[in-house]
Amino acid sequence: MKPCQSVGCSELASGAFCRDCLHDRVTALCGPPGAGKTRYVALHKGPGDVVVDFDLLFQALTMLPLFERDPGAFDAACRTREFLRGYLERSRKFRRGWMILLGARHRERDDLHRSGFRVLLLDPGRATCERRLRDDARRSDGLAKRHLSLLDDWYSQYEPHADDELCLPSAS
Ligand SMILES: [Zn+2]
């Protein structure tokens, strides 16, 4: 164990930060497609923050339009996300970290809690998500259809977790 790297903290830590300080630094934002996760992070992040968003990683690795999936890049995108997740847990070289993910299952979010993430659940309700997916200009008809089926999956897989924080969606 070494001293926590947070200024003013006297706790000991196995990594760079003690559990409480890590919890203040890294947030995993989970919720169904159309919940407004990207918008939430855009509103709450600040200078020096790092955002790990699978859709944007995929885009960076394929140069394809947002949300388009070339299966050939799937492994690279998953590995990049895992690498960045570890980076968020261990590095001190950023202010705050955000991970955006669907995270419907209890075990997925439990794993994030265990790693020290603050886990926020953003769920404005199925009807709102559905309306947003249909109205979103970034999503073509085919894409909206795929995301509506992911929305069904999310609600059929969702299991609550006692340690999650529920966050209130921003308007519209
Ligand atoms: Zn600390």
CATH at residue 62: 3.40.50.300
Measured in whole angstroms, the distance separating CA 23 from the mean position of its chain's CA atoms is 14
Structure-block tokens of residue 35: 């919940």
Task: Tell me how far the alpha carbon of residue 84 lies from the centroid of ligand 1, in angstroms.
Answer: 21
Counted domains in the chain: 1
Q: Which domain holds residue 67?
A: 23-167
Task: Tell me how far the alpha carbon of residue 117 lies from the centroid of ligand 1, in angstroms.
Answer: 14
Phi, psi for 161 (deg, rounded to 5): -135, 130
C-alpha angle with apex 110: 106 to 114, nearest 5 degrees? 175
Q: Per-residue confidence of the chain (172 residues) as pLDDT tens digits?
A: 899 999 899 999 988 899 999 999 999 999 999 999 999 999 999 999 999 999 999 999 999 999 999 999 999 999 999 999 999 999 999 999 999 999 999 999 999 999 999 999 999 999 999 999 999 888 888 899 999 999 999 999 999 999 999 987 555 4
Structure-block tokens of residue 99: 């991970």
Task: Tell me how far the alpha carbon of residue 131 lies from the centroid of ligand 1, in angstroms.
Answer: 42
- Alpha helices, DSSP H only, in the chain? 19-25, 37-44, 54-62, 74-90, 106-115, 126-135, 141-157
18 belongs to a structural domain: no
Task: Tell me how far the alpha carbon of residue 129 lies from the centroid of ligand 1, in angstroms.
Answer: 37
140 belongs to a structural domain: yes
70 belongs to a structural domain: yes
